[in-house]
Amino acid sequence: VQLQASGGGLVQAGGSLRLSCAASGRTFSRYVMGWFRQAPGKERDFVAAITWSGGTTYYADSVKSRFTISRDTAKNTVDLQMNSLKPEDTAVYYCAATAFNSNYVRDRRYYDYWGQGTQVTVSS
CA dihedral 66, 51, 24, 20 (to 10 degrees): -10
**pLDDT tens digit string along 7-53?**
999 999 999 999 999 999 888 888 999 999 999 999 999 999 999 99
d(CA 80, CA 119): 13
**pLDDT tens digit string along 44-73?**
999 999 999 988 999 999 999 999 999 999
d(CA 10, CA 12): 7
Name 16's Cβ contacts closer than 8 Å, sequence gap at least 6: 81, 82, 83, 84, 85
d(CA 105, CA 110): 8
**pLDDT tens digit string along 67-119?**
999 999 999 999 999 999 999 999 999 999 999 877 899 999 999 999 999 99
What's CA 69's distance to the chain center, in Å? 7
